Amino acid sequence: MTDAYDNDNIFAKILRGEIPCHKIYEDEHTFAFMDIMPRGDGHCLVIPKMPARNLLDADIETLGVVQATVKKIGTAVMKAFSADGLTVQQFNEPAGGQVVFHLHVHVIPRFDGVKLRPHTGDMEKPEILAENAEKISAALK
């Protein structure tokens, strides 16, 4: 059984504009932005605007709009970085690797022969995140 949704999680604060981010895309139901601790160049996140702790408590409509945006962002990431592939990850509950308890999907462009960087907590330089966000946003057009 999952715990209750926390309205003060970092992604809820990003959605309310209380914490800055490098936004890529937004529509009525979803929001996409750069991961500040990327495991690869172009690593970004897609989240629903609706409060949902994770896949286990999100309704089917929310899951549907999130996946539609994941496809849109994944296609743009592939184009923006001339990637060879794409890794899409989603974690649920601490035992499943979830750290932030707002439903989110990792979208990571992949390149032949290049391993994912470890999740060390090292933050990327803001100027690089801004540049990568612009590349992806431009590829959406």
Just list the catalytic residues: 104
Residues 6+ apart with CB under 8 A from 60: none
| 117/100 Cα distance (integer angstroms) | 19
Q: Give, rounded to a whole angstrom, the gap between the first and last alpha carbons of the chain.
A: 41
Close Cβ partners of 38 (under 8 Å, ≥ 6 residues apart): 108, 117, 124, 129
Spatial distance between the Cα atoms of 18 and 59, rounded to a whole number of angstroms: 26
Identify the helix (H) or strand (E) that includes residue 129.
helix 126-140
Side-chain-side CA neighbours of residue 116 (13 Å): 16
